[in-house]
Structure 1
């Protein structure tokens, strides 16, 4: 009875996605429904013969995203373990897939709470959307519940085209702002970034301040995290 009530509530949330907070609540409920700890919704577009990945919504911690990197996340989303609707999903055990993940990446993902990962292809209009659901322990996610969750996700997102469009807009930063933020994310000081770009330290600080404002962040660290999660840098 409790499970039915929870599923009804999840379906109700899916039917009224009107904001990013609604989307987050829905994805959190979806993850909980199947026994997953983590979720990541990504959009992948092809530009000049290469895939560009953008993270639409996720509860992965900053370290896990930085360690995995966009190339690996895209590989997980589109790899042989990614299942289309109607196909029984198969989980990927991070510690048992060093050929795909790389030995150190597999170990770190395991430590950071992504021991098992399911990748779901989502049919939502013309967009190439993928959902990654993960758990800290292999076997925690119930594969039998995944097909229904996948269909629920497709349905919910098809009703939220406006939110998806807003979430996948191109980044608001100028080339210089993006470059400054990138070098700071690499551990460079303001003076080092100024030397690399051939500008003054004051100019670098100005670019970074503008980037922080445009990304609605409160400091450099938050701006960098937002830019990485959004695929901007």
Structure 2
């Protein structure tokens, strides 16, 4: 599974580094819809996912896209506030579990909450249950999985989980429309966006090369291309440009 970056705001993913958990606050359905309508105007996917996570009573979200073409399982992380090391620890296991599922089972699982257990040796945030919940949904021809962590004393509502699955599709569809416009305007490839995200995460070229499984020189070439296209002179300027234009 490649940890790639969608073109959305910097609060979530695409952030897979440690982040502050969503506060445990009771949110009404009416308040949620009102806040989502406000967030939808910005096109920032992670802000919407934070709202949905809080609404269902979870603490951390991870949204990943499935590779339906080559059937390799999860293709890349779109947006997340799971701790980075936890994502790296679980990526192969999550992908393997998906690849063992039949196509009929995948179709029947859409919008059906499923629970799994994190390995005993996986580091989870303090107070967080080792149980996690996953929801599969589709936007057009693309299939996504929303995985939620929650506190040890929390019981998630199946009804709210199904609502969250539907509304997560709404958030993704809005952001995808904004992302396509950004692609046309700034002409950055997915690999360039990917490298830009990891730079924003504070990763070095060597670390990004390890994450993506390509050479350090190739990473530097991508970064040079990003700075050329965005007319920036340093990595910090490129990150600032990307944030202003909702690229990361």
Look up the SS of the partner of 1:108 in the other structure.
coil
Q: Which residue of 1 aligns with 2:190?
A: 170
Return the structure number with greater helix share. 1
Q: From 143, 148, 156, give the equivalent of 2:163.
A: 148
> What TM-score do you get using the length of structure 1 for normalisation?
0.59
2:73 and 2:98 in contact (8 A); partners too:
no
> What TM-score do you get using the length of structure 2 for normalisation?
0.56
CA–CA distance in structure 2, aligned partners of residues 205 and 123 of structure 1? 31
Computing the radius of gyration over CA atoms, which structure comes out larger, 1 or 2? 1
CA-CA distance at 1:120 after TM superposition: 0.6
Distance 1:209 1:25, change over 3 A: closer
Please state if 1:108 is matched with 2:122.
yes
Distance 1:164 1:120, change over 3 A: farther
CA–CA distance in structure 1, aligned partners of residues 131 and 161 of structure 2? 14
What per-residue deviation string (whole Å, max 9, x for no partner) do you get for residues 157-184 of structure 1? 33443146569x621289xxx9xx9971
Cα RMSD after superposing both structures: 4.5
Look up the SS of the partner of 1:44 in the other structure.
strand
CA–CA distance in structure 2, aligned partners of residues 123 and 187 of structure 1? 31
1:45 and 1:53 in contact (8 A); partners too:
yes
CA-CA distance at 1:152 after TM superposition: 2.1
Distance 1:140 1:164, change over 3 A: farther
Aligned pairs, how many? 188
2:191 and 2:222 in contact (8 A); partners too:
no
For residues 1-150 of structure 1, what are the structure 2 equivalents within 5 Å? 6-16=28-38, 17-21=40-44, 23-48=45-70, 50-51=72-73, 53-69=75-91, 71-75=92-96, 83-85=109-111, 87=112, 89-95=113-119, 106-110=120-124, 113=128, 115-137=130-152, 140-144=154-158, 145-150=160-165
2:192 and 2:222 in contact (8 A); partners too:
no
Q: Does 1 or 2 have the higher relative contact order (CA < 8 Å, sep 6+)?
A: 2
Distance 1:46 1:61, change over 3 A: same
Distance 1:187 1:53, change over 3 A: closer
Q: Which residue of 2 aligns with 1:226?
A: none
